[in-house]
Amino acid sequence: MSETPYKHQPRHAFWRTGVADAGVWSYENLWRSKWKLPANAAFATYGSCFAQHISRALQANGKPWVNAEPCPDRASPALAAEFGYGVYSSRTANIYTAKMLAYWVALAQNPDDTAQVELWENAGTFRDSLRPTIEPEGFDTAEECAAMLANTARAFRRSVEQAQVFVFTMGLTEGFENILTGQPYAMCPGTLAGSYDAKVHAFHNYSYPEVRAAMEAALEGLKAINPQIKVLLTVSPVPLTATASPDHVLLATTYSKSTLRAVAGDLAAASPSVDYFPSYEIIATPPTRGIFFEPNMRSVAPQGVKLVMSHFFKGMRFGKAALKADDTETKRRAALTAAAAEAELACEEVALEKEARP
């Protein structure tokens, strides 16, 4: 028999030895970061709901996590989380789509542009359309609402400046936009705040080229803020709560995750400063037989999260050398308890459950 490229492939390159014989608890060499990071490299984290697990795990494992918009003093952890503090590296709330990430990066480059973001008024209170639940009761005035959004845009920029690694969890391809301005929304207007108007608000299911273009714009903007930043992409394994497309939600979920996974992998292959971590594959692929999902078949069970993060830290490469101590970052380092790691995630998309008919 002649030599083939498979002849010298390692065990993990074959399904039987890499998956079937190993079992989901014993995958080897599933992921290895392409970078060797300083021992105290700082991480900024953003994305869909599942990204919150990465934020917590980094802190619980004593890794520097950038908190560029810390909660005011004397607030309890529960109150801080209710107002969106400490969930991500700034108070953006969940960023579900690539279009939304690109929009936030653009705002971080020009915080004064937040004046162009739509503000919604409901029952005498104001909310911004990028993060309508960030203040549980809303803001008293439009001016206060706009000012707080600008603060977060500046904090987002600080988080990129302070981080060595920007972690982004890609969540959805489906979103809503303003037909006239192109501004993306966190959620469909009318589900959490605002009101839906078919003449103004358009559903959009982003294609591969559109997701790729939005991510490339976001990456370019991140590099403009911090030329040394490294970007670690992952795809949330959490299925869609609901779809606004004509497809069954199962098909819509498969399209969404497949598209995001393809974009993430191609971006990582194209750039030495972009890498991909397989959260999606660990939880949602056939070998797991769905064992890591809660009974609702959406929420990821704690043992699944634990397995994901074990592969994350096993594959992340840290050198012995450390960056020069930074007092700002030191103040942002915190450890989470096991109880906090299992706390309920802030997930606006769950609000769509109420739209389901019996």
Does 56 map to a domain? yes
The predicted pLDDT at position 280 comes to 97
Does 232 map to a domain? yes
The predicted pLDDT at position 3 comes to 87
Q: Does the global pTM surpass 0.75?
A: yes
Please give the average per-residue pLDDT across 11-27, as a whole number. Answer: 96
- Examine the pLDDT at 340 and tell me if it is beyond 60: no
Does 17 map to a domain? no
Does 4 map to a domain? no
The predicted pLDDT at position 342 comes to 38
Does 14 map to a domain? no
- Examine the pLDDT at 345 and tell me if it is beyond 90: no
Q: Which domain holds residue 101?
A: 34-351
Q: Which residue has the tokens 């998956």?
A: 19
pLDDT in tens, 287-324: 999 999 999 999 999 999 999 999 999 999 998 877 77
Which residue would you say has higher pLDDT here, 220 or 74? 220
- Measure the CA–CA gap between 347 and 141, rounded to whole angstroms: 25
Please give the average per-residue pLDDT across 209-229, as a whole number. Answer: 98
Does 334 map to a domain? yes
pLDDT in tens, 138-179: 999 999 999 999 999 999 999 999 999 999 999 999 999 999
Which residue would you say has higher pLDDT here, 317 or 51? 317
Percent of the chain with pLDDT over 70: 90
Percent of the chain with pLDDT over 90: 77
Does 11 map to a domain? no
The predicted pLDDT at position 351 comes to 47
Angle of CA points 10, 12, 17, to nearest 5°: 105
Long-range (24+ apart) CB contacts under 8 A made by 122-129 are: 122/193, 122/194, 122/195, 127/193, 127/194, 129/183, 129/185, 129/186, 129/189, 129/193, 129/194
Please give the average per-residue pLDDT across 176-203, as a whole number. Answer: 94
Q: How many domains does the chain have?
A: 1
- Examine the pLDDT at 335 and tell me if it is beyond 70: no
Does 19 map to a domain? no
Q: What amino acid occupies position 352?
A: L
Which residue would you say has higher pLDDT here, 59 or 103? 103
Q: Residue 329: which pLDDT band, with cuts at 50, 70 and 90?
A: very low
